[in-house]
A and B are shown apart, each in its own frame.
Chain A
Amino acid sequence: MFERNQKTIFVLDHTRYFSIASEEYISMDFLKGKPSAHSSAGGSSQFSKSLWTCACESSIEYCRVVWDLFPGKKHVRFIVSDTAAHIVNTWSASTQNMSHVMNAMVMVGVPSRSMPQSSDYSVIHGLRAAIEALAEPTDEQSQAMASGIPDDLILNEGRVICITSARDNTSMKSLEDIFNTVLIQQNVLSATPPKKGLGINHCHLVILNIVPLGIDSMVTNRNLLEISPLLDVEIHTVGAPDISYKLTHLILDHYDLASTTVTNIPMKEEQNANSSANYDVEILHSRRAHSITCGPDFSLPTSIKQGATYETVTLKWCTPRGCGSADLQPCLGQFLVTPVDVTSRPSSCLINFLLNGRSVLLEMPRKTGSKATSHMLSARGGEIFIHSLCITRSCMDEAPSIADGPGGRVNDYRTSELGQLMKMSRMVPLKSRDPAAPNLPRRLPRYFPLTTTSTVLFHLQRHLSWLPHFLHLLVKEMDKQDEVRCQQHIHELYKSASRGDVLPFTHTNGARLKPHKAKDQYRLLYRELEQLIQLNASTVHHKNLLESLQTLRAAYGDAPSKSEAGTVNLRSFTESPLSPERLEAMSNVSISSSTNSNSLLKASKRRMSNCGTRSLLDIISSAERSQSNKRLDFSGRICTPIGQIAKLYPDFGNKEKDAAAAAAASGVGVAPKE
């Protein structure tokens, strides 16, 4: 978690020597864009960067790459050293960005040439401060400490990159020794109470000894050397103009980065808009973007750019063919990228192309001669990523067709309805999430048959204009007004049932329903409505509706069976604020209702007392009474004394259960067997 590259500190030598020129001259004519042939035209028309400018721009470039690739994860600090150490930024996130560093550097300014040469001016101050800075915890380390993890488990390693200029190996050696001594002292300080900072587990010191162009240094280069278990030191001597190339090389190892060169990027010429030349753009990213795609039988093509000391993988740009970033690619890993040369025109062309939302596939040649798109560049949220794609054969390449699988031949799924729900349940990023906010199961309907052949309600929804509104009322939080509206709908339904209207089904292929079906259709509709209300029951209004619906069903000769009544009560009353008395009354109704108009009356009276006005049910029950008066009553009831319950199929007495099941399954209404 806390790797060595989490903390990097640049110590910049700000002594007088750094004000001298790097001796790499820039001609004024060149700046004006004239041919460089005239550049030898005299000293006044050319100028040079100072050593300070070289050190400054290359270290800032280093952290540009780090912060582009590891935003918020890897930290870089700057310490400027002359008579004392000047801290440019801290570990805190607010100062870990380019604009802070650049602004602070304006204040530092170029070292003054008029400074007296004295021993007060030294890079040692900066190195001491760097060790103290290493001991300071980063935000992540502070967090880990606060969460109770013992300090010794929190690894604290870092790297110090010191850009200085030493006279010879002896002075370099003394620099090293001082650094080592201070490091040990700091750890002693950290270990003894009052603890001052974290102990430093390891430090990697990189000394860049820079000299103006053409000057030989007395300091010899030295590869990584272990000075003590705590300290590794390496020394590089570079000419000032080359320091950036050196750092670009070093950063690859420091952060395990790799370079990819996108070749053959077609780009319009400024002068000639009709033709386009091909350009290359080099980008940096985590090395894993390469290693993750490499398999045993192929490897990515590499080359070494002119003047560079590291390998770059060359991948060919594929002109995107309708390849929006929407296309889902099998991706093994995605990594942030940054261009090596951020200001060059090819780089900015590629970047803008990507930032505008298009993605680019990158191609590599295979041994067999064919090509494979091994990577993809795309930008999302203002960041550019390289995606390592899966180019080997995958067992997922051929899909087993869903149409051949279970359920594949059913063709009346309610796909568009679910699609609508999906669009309504599209997720968005929130700043904070209320755990009490409804999750998906609470947003999706509680009653959702998968096919249109397993529902009457949702089938008719398209053909009965009032039904969608009614269904909408049923599933939301209901108030009194909604209930009245629903009751009206139920009444309408009842009226149309009594008229024997045929519901507008489309499944019958135009054939008219047989009269018996006319009755079935309403029975099923009632049953389904009842289930729907039950599943959504959250208010007392739902209970009322349920009650009138059950009464209606009963009136229609389709009483809920006993088990159903049981579940109704169980479900609805555990969720509702109804009193136990109501529970009792209600279960009585549902069990003993049948076509008994007495109970209908009772129910309607109760409703009256609830509403105070003539309720819908009252209307229904009176209609029901007049209806039943007109026709001959069911023979079974005629034979049974009033007050007792008619018994159906007395012969089936001992096989009651079977009979009930059969009758129920055939959709025929039966009187309750009690």
Chain B
Amino acid sequence: MPTIIAVDASLSMLRPVPGRNEHTYLSLATKGIQHLLDNFTAAGKLEHLALISYTTTAELKVDFTRDYDQIRQAVKKIETVDKACLLTMLKTSVSIMSTWGAQNLLQLVVFTDCGLGFGTTSISGFLETYAGKEADPEYAWLRTVANYNLNFICLGLHSQLFMTPVKNPETNEATSTPSHKSELGRTAVFELIERLCETSYKSTEVTLKCGSYFRMEAPVLLWPPTTPYEQPAVLGVEAEVRQIDQRIDVCGFLALSDIGSPATLSRHWVLPKVEREKTSRRSAGMAVVAKPAKLTLDTSNPNYELERLEQDIREFYAKDPKDTEESGDDADVTIVLKHSSGPQTEQQKECLCVLLHGALKMENMAALVRVGEKWYGFMYAFTDAKKKSNLMLNILPPGSNVIPWLGDLELLGFTEDLAPGETASFPVRADRRSYSQSSVVWIRQASLQSDVQKVLRHAKKMPDKTQHFYKELNRIRRAALALGFVELLEALAMLLEKECAHLTLNGASNECTVQLQHAATELRKTSNRDIKSTIVPHQKGGVPDASSSAAVASTAGYMY
């Protein structure tokens, strides 16, 4: 979630915090930002952050980055200038944010001492000029701000709340303003930050399940967090807000080439959830707590036996012969185990996500997952431009018929489910569209011309192309009949006769002239103005009756 951290750099921020001479408001804000960065670092440095400081002007200190050290350095250098103007800051934020697309949830975290500003740059000043000009394009940016998630870290005194800075009746902003109860100081600021992280930056926690074995089920985090889907009301069903389920099940696997690029609602990293030691204060995320190698297994756990077995097997493999002592005879061996393996870090613990990612990547496949009732998504190995790869979940729009070429997702099964002799494969084919049939559209004269020329080309190459000639001829004739374009039939007959005369002069084969003459005659017959009739080639000695054409019907071109 791209986030702009905005720091109030008005002179009032230099005031010492009452009763805490060691802190000014600004130094508290700085500490708060450092703590926020610590939290983001601990969560995997996923957030893109930008830093601005604002007074009557707003200045971009650090553009969006995941390198938090840049921000740490820049925060220290913020200097106070004059008075605060919140609106300048908001307006600047809009332009800084504009590089991000609508699929990102944009966040703004403002550290301020809650000054309302003075004079024209104050909030009340703004509201006065703004009143009545809501529709003015000059204020269009306010509507953009309304889509942001605004967070104010108010460094006011005690529980003195500062709540409605740009609250105007039009744009009803989602503003969350954490407030603190205890006395203002480091503790209080840190508490606010913790609450901010909890409410606005928490990844969605779900259980990923792939099969029935207990190791094939694991808690995972989806980052960025999923956003609720507002399902509009349809006939008799009221509108509702939907969240994805707590457990997402893998239903089966599909080749990525079969999936293609369908429209997705949102994309998320699927990251393993790690039980982190509850870190406190400044140490947050800094210390990796070394855990004892040996997990204490819980006998009441239903999978206790399996876990114990795995552990025993690992120890069997890990045992270094030097570290074991033997005693007793060869019948009963007592081994005194020493834990040769050092503390196991999280990276060395096996994890379902990594296995799944590896297998999906190797096979170029995606796992179809059910994220809710009639709601699906798919997981696959996503590799970025720098060849870094991770497991990604694309959440599809709710519904089971959202990817036309895959068909109804509820109807996907395995080859074993097919009826004997039945075959099935992707893509699910749709009815033929006009562009995959030999459509006839003569709105432009050029297309009429090319159709007629095709017939004439075949005419010249008779008898070799007799079948093609009649196929094209009938195609034109049918279309002309459908459109009531009888003028064309007469024109075509004339053209054929001319062609016939021309070809005779040039000594064409007898067969060719006979066929052309025959075709021209048939075109003119009003008895042939019937959907069922087809002009068939002139048969030597046969009866060239066009209406008895069923046998040659297969050569007739169907228009649509």
- Residue pairs across A and B with Cβ atoms less than 8 A apart, 25 shown, are A1-B234, A31-B495, A53-B484, A71-B431, A97-B431, A103-B482, A325-B260, A328-B261, A330-B261, A343-B447, A376-B261, A378-B260, A382-B433, A402-B354, A406-B274, A407-B346, A415-B359, A427-B251, A444-B212, A448-B215, A516-B330, A527-B309, A563-B304, A665-B312, A667-B316
Cα–Cα distance between A422 and B361 once the two chains are bound (Å): 11
Are A297 and B98 interface neighbours, CB within 8 A?
Answer: yes
User: What separation, in Å, do the CA atoms of A666 and B324 have in the docked complex?
Assistant: 11
B440 located at the interface, meaning its Cβ lies under 8 Å from any Cβ of chain A in the complex: yes
Interface check B131, CB cutoff 8 A: no
Q: How many pairs of A and B residues are in contact by the CB < 8 Å rule?
A: 496
B367 CB contacts on chain A under 8 angstroms: 422
Interface pair B212/A47, CB less than 8 Å apart? no
Chain A residues positioned under 8 Å from B530 (CB to CB): 106
Q: Contacts A400-B44, A445-B211, A454-B310 hold; do A434 and B407 have CB atoms under 8 A apart?
A: no
Query: A410 near B447 (CB under 8 angstroms)?
Result: no
A328 cross-chain contacts in B, Cβ below 8 A: 256, 259-261, 380, 382
B154 contacts A by Cβ under 8 Å? no
CA distance A565 to B530 in the complex (A): 85
B238 part of interface (Cβ distance < 8 Å)? no
Check if A446 is an interface residue, CB within 8 A of chain B. Answer: yes
Say yes or no for A517: interface residue by CB 8 A criterion. Answer: yes
Known: A399-B382, A446-B212. 12 other contacts (CB 8 A): A32-B452, A50-B484, A105-B483, A344-B444, A348-B435, A380-B427, A384-B435, A406-B351, A416-B362, A427-B253, A432-B411, A517-B319
Measured in the bound complex, the distance between the Cα atoms of B433 and A97 in whole Å is 10
State A331–B402 Cα separation when bound (angstroms).
Answer: 13
Answer whether residue B2 sits at the interface, using C-beta atoms and an 8 A cutoff: yes
- Interface-centre pick from B260, B346, B357, B456 (highest chain A CB count, 10 A): B260
Q: Give 1 or 0 for each of A381-423: 1 = CB within 8 Å of chain B CB.
A: 1111101101111111111111011111110011110110111
Interface residues on B, range: 35 or more
Q: In the complex, which residues of chain A have a beta carbon less than 8 angstroms from the beta carbon of B441?
A: 57, 61, 64, 341-343
Residue count of chain A within 8 Å CB distance of chain B: 161
**A351 touching B311 by the CB < 8 A rule?**
no
Q: Within 8 Å CB of B383, what residues of A? A: 399
Report the nearest A residue to B385, measured CB to CB: A397
CA distance A394 to B224 in the complex (A): 11
Provide the main secondary structure of the chain B interface.
mixed
- What's the dominant secondary structure at chain A's contact region? mixed
In Å, the complex CA distance between A382 and B408 comes to 17
The answer to the question of A138 belonging to the interface, with a C-beta cut-off of 8 Å to chain B, is: no
> What 4 A-B pairs come out closest when comparing CB atoms?
A407-B351, A392-B101, A444-B211, A110-B484
B163 is an interface residue with CB less than 8 A from chain A: no
Chain A residues near B404 (CB, 8 Å)? Answer: 380-381, 383, 385
CB atoms of B413 and A442 under 8 A apart: no
Candidates B98, B365, B435; contact of A296 at CB < 8 Å: B98
A382–B363 alpha-carbon span in the complex (Å): 26
Which residues does chain A contribute within 8 Å of B360, judged by CB atoms? 422
Q: Is the CB of B560 within 8 A of A102?
A: yes
Q: Given the known inter-chain contacts A430-B418, A453-B314, please indicate yes or no for A399 contacting B388, CB distance below 8 A.
A: yes
Contact bitstring B512-546, A, C-beta under 8 A = 1, else 0: 00000000000000000111000000000000000
C-alpha spacing A515/B331, complex, angstroms: 10
In the complex with contacts A28-B495, A58-B443, A328-B256, A393-B414 CB distance below 8 A? no
Complex CA distance for A32 and B388, rounded to whole angstroms = 61
Closest chain A residue to B299 by CB distance?
A563
Report how far A376 CA is from B263 CA in the complex, Å: 12
Find chain B residues with CB under 8 A from A443 CB. 211, 414
Q: Are A400 and B269 in contact (CB under 8 A)?
A: yes
Decide if A355 is an interface residue (CB 8 Å cutoff): yes
Docked Cα-Cα span, A387 to B365, in Å, equals: 21
Residue A426, interface by CB 8 Å = yes
B211, B333, B350, B414: the one within 8 Å of A451 (CB): B350
A634: nearest chain-B partner, CB-CB: B332
In whole angstroms, how far apart are the Cα atoms of A324 and B261 in the complex? 11
Q: Which of A68, A432, A516 contacts B333 (CB 8 A)?
A: A516
Is residue A652 contacting chain B, with contact meaning CB distance below 8 A?
no
Task: Give Cα A399 to B380, complex, Å.
Answer: 13
> Quick check: B263 and A334 within 8 Å, CB to CB?
yes
Q: Is A577 an interface residue (CB 8 A)?
A: no
Judge whether A433 and B99 touch: CB under 8 Å: no
Tell me, in angstroms, the Cα distance from A259 to B530 when the chains sit together.
Answer: 38
> Would you give the 0/1 interface string for A434-452, flagging 1 where the beta carbon is closer than 8 Å to chain B?
1001111111111111110
Chain B residues near A336 (CB-CB < 8 A): 433
Which residue of chain A has its CB nearest to the CB of B98?
A: A297
Contact between B213 and A334 (Cβ–Cβ < 8 Å)? Answer: no
Contact of B384 with A330 in the complex, beta carbons under 8 Å:
no
Q: Is the CB of B412 within 8 A of A380?
A: no
Check if A428 sits within 8 Å of B363, measured CB to CB.
no
With A and B bound together, what is the CA distance between A210 and B357 in angstroms? 64
**Contact assessment for B491 and A47 in the assembled complex, using a CB-CB cutoff below 8 Å:** yes
Shortest Cβ distance from A636 into chain B, in angstroms?
10
Task: Pick from A341, A419, A631, A664 the residue with the most CB of B within 10 Å.
Answer: A419
Binds A, one of B20-28, B70-78, B170-178, B389-397: B389-397
- Quick one: which of B354, B436, B439, B456 contacts A382, CB cutoff 8 A? B436
By the criterion CB–CB under 8 Å, are A431 and B411 in contact? yes
* Interface membership of A338, Cβ < 8 A: yes
B358 at the interface (CB under 8 A from A): yes
Question: Contact check: which of B418, B428, B484 meets A56 at CB < 8 Å?
Answer: B484
Complex formed: what's the CA distance from A580 to B1 in Å? 60
Evaluate contact between B99 and A297: CB separation under 8 angstroms: yes
A52 at interface, CB cutoff 8 A: yes
Interface flags for A67-89 (1: CB within 8 Å of B; 0: not) read 11001000000000000000000
Which A residues are CB-close (under 8 A) to B252? 425-427, 440
Stretch at the interface among A124-132, A223-231, A518-526: A518-526
Question: Is B284 interfacial (CB 8 A cutoff)?
Answer: no
**For B336, what are the chain A residues with a Cβ–Cβ distance below 8 Å?**
666
**Contact call A634/B269, Cβ cutoff below 8 A:** no
By a CB distance below 8 angstroms, the chain B residues around A26 are 445, 448, 491
Nearest to A505 among chain B residues (CB) is B317
Flag whether B84 is at the interface (Cβ < 8 A): no
Contact of B235 among A153, A347, A399 (CB under 8 A): A153
A5 close to B (CB within 8 Å): no
Alpha-carbon distance A519/B326, docked complex (angstroms): 13
Question: With a CB–CB cut-off of 8 A, which chain B residues contact A331?
Answer: 261-264
Check if A433 sits within 8 Å of B410, measured CB to CB.
Answer: yes
Instruction: Specify which chain B residues have a CB less than 8 angstroms from the CB of A137 in the assembled complex.
Output: none
- Pairwise interchain contact B347-A404, C-beta atoms closer than 8 A: yes
Across-interface contacts of B487 in A (CB, < 8 A):
21, 47-50, 53
CB distance from B387 to the nearest CB of A (A): 9
Q: Does B118 contact A (CB under 8 A)?
A: no
Chain B CB within 8 A of A115 CB: no
A456 at the interface (CB under 8 A from B): yes
User: What residues of chain A lie closer than 8 Å to B257, measured between beta carbons?
Assistant: 324-326
- Which residues in window 468-507 of B have CB below 8 A to A? 478-479, 481-488, 490-491, 494-495
